[in-house]
Amino acid sequence: MTRLLDTGEPYYLQIAQRLRSMIDSLPAGERLPSEPRLARDFAVSRFTVAKAVEQLAKDGLIVRKQGSGTYVAEAPLRRQPGYLLSFTEAVRAAGHASTHKVLSFRSAPWTPGLPYAPDERLVLLDRLRFVEGVGVARHRSVLSAGLLDRIGLTREIVSAPDFSLYRYYEDHGLKVATGNERLVARLASEEERRLLRLGDDTVVVSVNRQTFAQDGTPLDAVEATYDARHYSYEARLTRQPEPGNPRSKQENQDASKSPDHDGHHGPRLGPFDGDR
């Protein structure tokens, strides 16, 4: 029996923390002890254990398989610093298949902040993105109508289930070269809750990104809304050297060469249903 401490902290939170420590040492796909077994080990009710397990599921650390058990979730995708991945590429790199459904493909008004001229004709491409058939994100892309006409991009083409905007651009000689990205966490709108099948007061991650070709041509201005359980972001920060202090500069250089630095930064997608 594992003894829980009477510290005033709820038992389910203590159990969740101990299970986190256990998960840290286990490989993805490892099966966890059953809830009845955990209830016996911690000398608590199954309801208390279920609350702890539910907390870990919300954090994306475990996945439940009905009739099979609870498993350590697959580590989410990591992206190389400064490397732009499309949703399709990111999901494929995580070992999954992505599809989408076009919600809208129509003319769009110009608004301040878009990387297009005020008199430019624009198109809204609104899509629901799926991983293994489960909706996990909504992408609302504002595109140049003139550019789409030039490369022949139509609603019929974008409606293909495996369509990738970045891939289509690059197949037509437009290399996606740079991007500016901003992330905010917010409550999901009523429409987003319906599309992504989210509960009330669910938090989503809203990613606003503008991408450009090598010659500076704007290619995409997208607001991507993700179920926060499937999206996280990580970055390595370096301290700005103090003026006239060469030691600080050397410390930053040493930190960048540290063996603990694995070279992966940026968005992380997953875990998704089916990850092990």
**Domain extent listing, the chain:** 11-72, 87-234+263-269
Question: 11-72 has which fold?
Answer: Arc Repressor Mutant, subunit A (1.10.10)
Q: Pick left, alpha or beta for residue 249 (phi over 0 → left; psi -120 to 50 → alpha; otherwise beta).
A: alpha
Percentage of the chain with pLDDT > 90?
A: 38
SS3 of the chain: helix, strand, coil, percent, to 5: 30, 30, 40
Cα separation, 143 vs 125, in Å, equals 7
Give residue-wise pLDDT tens across range 10-28. Answer: 888 889 888 988 887 888 7
pLDDT over threshold 70, residue 83? no
pLDDT at residue 200, rounded to an integer: 87
Q: Do residues 174 and 212 touch, judged by C-beta distance below 8 A?
A: no
- Assigned fold of 87-234+263-269: Chorismate lyase (3.40.1410)
Highest mean pLDDT, choosing among 90-94, 96-100, 260-264: 96-100
225-276: per-residue pLDDT in tens? 988 877 776 666 667 666 555 554 454 444 444 434 444 455 555 555 555 4
Per-residue confidence (pLDDT) for residue 105, from 0 to 100: 97
- H/E element, 53: helix 46-58
Confidence of residue 82 (pLDDT cuts 50, 70, 90): very low
How much is the average pLDDT of 183-189?
Answer: 90
- What is the Cα–Cα distance from 172 to 13, expressed in whole angstroms? 53
- Looking at residue 228, the DSSP 8-state letter turns out to be G
